[in-house]
Amino acid sequence: MRDRSRFAILRALIAGYAAVWTAVRAPALLDPLDYAARRLDPVGPLAFLDAPVADVFLVGAVIATPIAAALLALGCHERWSGPAAAIGFLFVTTYRNSWGQLFHTENLVALHLAVLALASFSPPTDDEDGRRWAVEAMAVLTVGTYFLAGVAKWRISGTAWLDGDVLRHQIAFDNARKEILGDTSSPFAGWLLRHGWLLGPAAVASVLVELAAPLALLRGRVAAVWCGLALLFHWAVLAFMAILFPYHLLGIGLAPLLPVERLGTTVAGWTGRFREASPTSTLPG
């Protein structure tokens, strides 16, 4: 029963996040309606496009995706809401990435939704094996993305990444670009750059967290400690680069590694205590 409830809570968290994100970001997802066709630079599953998609198609996808994701989060009609949410999310985010700039904040959401979509065809059972594969697959996807980010630093910059200069230039460039293009930059970046000795240890720590991600598959305390360090990493990125990874910052991206089914037990416990304390619960009949 444990893994089935873990699956259900993960489905609610991940699909719920996708529903809220696509609803809140709908205006940005519709921005391409106003872009000049010359700016189209299709990527990933939309690499075949040689012209923008029809406006009505984009509008339909932006409307349908949060609805499908909300239904999936609630566990309603998951045989169609699962695939619809996964395909819709993949489409609207890929299309948003097809105008000259790749964003890296929704990759893990898209991958987790794909697993939820596949799992929707797997019959729910009351034993531990029911959808355990999906929980484990999502955990592997989470650690895989962090591990890849760490490996990329080694593949591209080697040990040079560790002395802090690469990090100094990344933080400075990202904040400078925000200032020059009229966006909000980090109020702490200047302070960090003036205390440059901090950047070497910060660079080593960030690569270690990324490369150590597979250890979190050991579960238990190891996973909890690693998730805590990963959260700290994302808060530091937000503080010093003003870059928001909401899926990770909220802990949802890390949730497949944690015993989230206890969240349900805790909430049920609170609800029970509230009912016991409520005067209406003592009324007869």
Partner 1 sequence: MPRWFRLLLVGLAAAVVLSPLTRPPRSDTYPLSTYPMFASDRGALHDIATVVEVKADGSTVRLSPELIAGTDEVILAAVTVTRAVAGGQAEELCAEVASRLGEGRRARVQTERHDVVELVAEGAPPRSIDVHAECARA
Binding site for partner 1 (CB under 8 A): 28, 31, 34-35, 39, 43-44, 47, 90, 93-94, 97, 99-104, 106-107, 110-111, 115, 122, 129-130, 132-134, 136-138, 140-141, 144-145, 147-149, 151-153, 155-157, 160-161, 165-173, 175-183, 185, 189-190, 193-194
**Considering beta carbons, is residue 2 or 39 the nearer one to partner 1?**
39
Closest distance of CB 40 from partner 1, Å: 12
- The secondary structure of 214-276, three-state, reads HHHHHCHHHHHHHHHHHHHHHHHHHHHHCCCCHHHHCCCCCHHHCCCHHHHHHHHHHHHHHHH
Nearer to partner 1, 187 or 228 (CB): 187
Instruction: Give whichever of 48 and 284 is closer to partner 1, judged by the CB atom.
Output: 48
Integer Cα distance of 82 and 71 in angstroms = 8
Burial of 90 (0-12, 13-18, 19+ CB in 10 A): buried
> Residue 5 or 185: which CB sits closer to partner 1?
185
> C-beta of 233: minimal distance to partner 1 in Å?
11
Nearer to partner 1, 55 or 183 (CB): 183
The answer to whether 169 touches 203, Cβ cutoff 8 Å, is: no
Dist. CA 141–CA 85, nearest whole Å: 18
Give the Cα separation of 8 and 5 in Å (integer): 5
Q: How far is the CB of 192 from partner 1 (least distance, A)?
A: 9
- Closest separation in Å from C-beta 56 to partner 1: 20
**In whole angstroms, how close is the CB of 175 to partner 1 at the nearest point?**
5
Q: At what angle do helices 2-24 and 55-73 cross, to 10 degrees?
A: 150
